[in-house]
Amino acid sequence: SHPSHGDNRPFYLTTAIAYPNGAPHIGHAYEYISADALARFKRLDGFDVRFLTGTDVHGQKMQQTAQAQGIPTAELATRNSDEFEALQRRLGSSFDRFIRTSDDDHKRASTEIWNRMAANGDIYLDKYSGWYDVRDETFVGEDDTHVDENGERVAVENGHLLTWTEEQTYFFRLSAYTDRLLALYDEHPEFLGPDTRRNEILSFLRGGLTDLSISRTTFDWGVQVPDDPGHVMYVWVDALTNYLTGAGFPDDDALFDRYWPADLHVIGKDIIRFHCVYWPAFLMSAGIELPKRVFAHGFLFNNGEKMSKSVGNVVDPGDLIDAFGLDPVRYFFLREVSYGQDGSYSAESMVARINADLANEFGNLAQRTASMIGKYFDGVLPGPAGYTDDDAELLSTAAKLLGTVRTHFDSQAIHLGLEALWQALAAANRYISAEEPWKLAKTDLERTGTVLYVCAEVVRIVALLAQPVMPQSCGTILDQFAVPATDRDFTAVEKRLVPGTALPAPTPVFPRLEAPARD
Q: Rule CB under 6 A: which residues touch ligand ME8?
A: 16-19, 27-28, 30-31, 56, 239-240, 242, 267-268, 270-271, 299-300, 307
CB of 240 to ligand ME8, least distance (A): 5
CB of 17 to ligand ME8, least distance (A): 5
> Nearest to ligand ME8 by Cβ — which residue?
268
Q: What is the bridge-based pairing of β-strands 138-140 and 215-216?
A: unpaired
Nearer to ligand ME8, 300 or 451 (CB): 300
Tell me if 17 sits within 8 A of 54, measured CB to CB: yes
Tell me if 248 sits within 8 A of 235, measured CB to CB: no
CB of 253 to ligand ME8, least distance (A): 23
CA-based end-to-end distance of the chain: 57
**139 bridge partner residues:** 132
CB of 513 to ligand ME8, least distance (A): 24
Tell me if 343 sits within 8 A of 333, measured CB to CB: yes
- For 494, the enclosing helix (H) or strand (E) is none
Nearer to ligand ME8, 181 or 294 (CB): 294
**129 bridge partner residues:** 166
Nearer to ligand ME8, 31 or 391 (CB): 31
Nearer to ligand ME8, 74 or 183 (CB): 74
Q: How far apart are CA 237 and CA 214, in angstroms?
A: 7
Tell me if 323 sits within 8 A of 354, measured CB to CB: no
DSSP, residue by residue, 359-378: IIIIIIHHHHHHHHHHHHHT
Q: How far apart are CA 24 and CA 86, in angstroms?
A: 10
Nearer to ligand ME8, 30 or 259 (CB): 30
Nearer to ligand ME8, 274 or 422 (CB): 274
Other Cβ atoms closer than 10 A to 87: 21
Peptide bond into 194 cis (omega under 30): yes
CB of 60 to ligand ME8, least distance (A): 13
Find all residues with CB under 8 Å of 414, minimum gap 6, and list them: 34, 37, 38, 334, 339, 408, 469
Nearer to ligand ME8, 179 or 305 (CB): 305
**343 bridge partner residues:** 300
CB of 300 to ligand ME8, least distance (A): 4
Nearer to ligand ME8, 193 or 437 (CB): 193
Using alpha carbons only, give the angle 358, 361, 362 rounded to the nearest 5 degrees. Answer: 60
Nearer to ligand ME8, 336 or 457 (CB): 336
Per DSSP, helices labelled H in 4-121 are: 26-44, 60-69, 73-90, 104-119
CB of 245 to ligand ME8, least distance (A): 11
Q: How far apart are CA 58 and CA 35, in angstroms?
A: 23
CB of 276 to ligand ME8, least distance (A): 12
CB of 80 to ligand ME8, least distance (A): 10
